[in-house]
Amino acid sequence: MTVIIHGWVNNKREVGGIVFLEVLHGLSLRPIVVVAKRNENETLWRVARKIKVGSAVEVIGEFKEKSISKRGKEFRPDSLKVLSEPSTKLPVDVTGKTRALLDTKIEYRYLTLRLPRERAIFKVRATLIKAAREFFERNRFLEVHTPKICGAGAEGGATVFSLDYFGNTAYLSQSPQLYKQMLIAGIPRVYEITPYFRAEKFDTPRHLNESWGIDAEIGFISGMEDVMKVLEDLIVHIVNQVLKECEEEISLLSSDIPKPKAPFKRIEYSEAVEELKSEGLDIKWGEDLGTTEEAKLGEIMKQEGHDFYFIVRYPWDAKPFYIMRDGDLCRSFDLDCRGLELASGGQREHRYDELVKNMIDKGLNPEDFKFYLEAFKHGMPPHGGFGLGVERLLMKLLGANNIREVVLFPRDRRRLVP
């Protein structure tokens, strides 16, 4: 059967009177090997000899029934046309023989996507997002889209990007937190797959200034466990779908994907602090867990057979104003995997007077959040939710060392282009 192939020439070899062109077609990870023989079609063979690596081509012909190439399926061309060829030497070796540095990959991401390993990462990412959406739709959540230009930050503080909005100060959204809570006054279950913008001056392998999150909010809950159950079921569904749909990608990336099984381990914050102290770490009760503490706790949990685990019952001082308070503690949790925080969430404060008190105790002015507080005057049910970091989850699934590996065009404090 005659077919048309469009793609890029990633490699070219010539042996005697035969030219082998490796053409990357569609979303495939393996190339199609176009075999042009002089003794079969000399005109086409001469065209193949002149083609530059990196060229965009159109090939018309048939796949061979038997293929001897281990690189990809062999293709016998009847027509070979160059649609576009590189005007300069490619800045990335698309044959894959020489690995590019991370900064080079980011600078030329559109070219590195011709490499099977790089392409595999972003195919897994797309599958992850698709699986998350499938989960929420099956569980009767409504997908929503909240503003990314806001009049107040979800968490206050200085970690917001400000901008001029027709003479007024506005901010890029830190998260959809305030808006998704407001929506619970009218819709019992909402979710959003959305960008976050945070003006934190980090230079670490796990932080970005623009990242993506999977956010959910659930109304009419009986407690924090209801929220944790949804999150762990979501994680199990995502990982199972990635394992099912991305077998070739995972094999290519040699990924040791943690296979979650619900329910996940729960460890109280106070217990975690004692465990870390027993390991010689200097941590005081009330402090949030930093990179070193998270990594060590991950080692402890791994020894106990837990890849995914919840840290629950944090000190209220360490969490945002909208979390429900229980004395010095609060109804909050973090979800970690192998020493990295993936998600945070908990039960929210739905009582208007208590929420105003929380704001004042956190040093915030309730007048700045008047639009948000208004929703809590009209029958706001008990509710809770979470925000799950897409890039962080992908890092742990694929074993990436730097979060920038799993983002097409990263935004950090030193990178605004491409």
pLDDT in tens, 184-204: 999 999 999 999 999 988 889
Residues 6+ apart with CB under 8 A from 356: 366, 373
What CATH number is given to the structural domain containing 135?
Answer: 3.30.930.10
Looking at every residue in the chain, the average pLDDT score rounds to 95
Is 415 within a domain? no
What's the confidence (pLDDT) of residue 287? Answer: 87
Would 371 be classed as within a structural domain?
yes
Whether residues 156 and 268 fall in one domain: yes
Following DSSP, what letter does each residue of 96-142 receive, concatenated?
SSSPPPHHHHHHTHHHHTTSHHHHHHHHHHHHHHHHHHHHHHHTTPE
Q: Does residue 76 fall inside a structural domain?
A: yes
List CB contacts of 25: < 8 A, sequence separation 6 or more.
5, 6, 7, 31, 32
DSSP secondary structure letter of residue 379: -
Cα–Cα distance for residue pair 83/51, rounded to 1 Å:
11
Is the domain of 160 the same as that of 215? yes
Contact yes or no for 23/7 (Cβ under 8 A): yes
Do 32 and 147 sit in the same domain of this protein? no
- Per-10-residue mean pLDDT of the chain, 418 residues long, equals 96 94 95 95 96 97 78 91 96 92 95 96 98 98 96 69 94 94 98 95 91 98 98 98 97 93 96 95 90 95 96 95 96 97 98 98 93 96 98 96 97 93
Residues 65 and 157 in one domain: no
**Dihedral-angle region of residue 96 (phi above 0 means left; psi in -120 to 50 means alpha; beta otherwise):** left
Residue 53 and residue 158 in one domain: no
pLDDT at position 126 is: 98
Whether 173 and 73 map to the same domain: the answer is: no
Residue 91's H or E segment, with its range, is none
Residues 42 and 163 in one domain: no
Separation between Cα atoms, residue 164 and residue 168, nearest integer Å: 6
CA gap 19, 38 in Å, rounded: 8
What are the residue numbers of the active site? 198, 200, 206-207, 341, 344, 392
Domain membership flag for residue 110: no
Among 16, 23, 22, 56, residue whose Cα is nearest residue 40: 16
d(CA 99, CA 119): 14
Q: What is the CATH number of the domain that holds 24?
A: 2.40.50.140
What is the distance between the alpha carbons of residues 173 and 171, in angstroms, rounded to a whole number? 6
Q: Distance (Å, rounded) from C-alpha 206 to C-alpha 405? A: 10
- Are 81 and 120 part of one and the same domain? no
What's the pLDDT at 68? Answer: 63
Q: Hey, which residues does 349 pair with through a beta bridge? A: none
Residues 6 or more apart from 330 whose CB is under 8 A from it?
313, 314, 315, 316, 319, 323, 324, 346
pLDDT by residue (tens digit) across 153-172? Answer: 666 556 899 999 999 999 99
Domain boundary, last residue among 46, 72, 89: 89
Q: Which pLDDT does position 288 carry in this prediction?
A: 87
Residues 305, 308, 310, 311, CA torsion sign:
positive
Element housing 241 (H / E): helix 224-245
pLDDT, tens only, 26-72: 999 999 999 999 999 999 999 999 999 999 999 999 998 876 666 77
Domain housing 323: 116-406
Q: Are residues 64 and 194 in the same domain?
A: no
Number of alpha carbons in the 13 Å side-chain half-sphere of residue 26: 6
Same domain, 366 and 226: yes
User: What three-state secondary structure class fits 275?
Assistant: helix
Let me know whether 189 and 260 are in one domain: yes
pTM across the whole model: 0.94
The phi, psi pair for 165, rounded to 5°, reads: -120, 85
CA distance 113 to 107: 12
Strand ranges inside 1-55, DSSP E:
3-15, 18-25, 32-37
How many structural domains compose the chain? 2
Phi and psi for 308 in degrees, rounded to 5? -105, 135
Choose among 345, 340, 281, 273: nearest CA to 307: 340
Closest CA to 242 of 135, 137, 143, 345: 135
Same domain, 342 and 399: yes
Contact at 8 Å (CB) between 35 and 61? no
Say how far apart CA 392 and CA 395 lie, in whole Å. 5
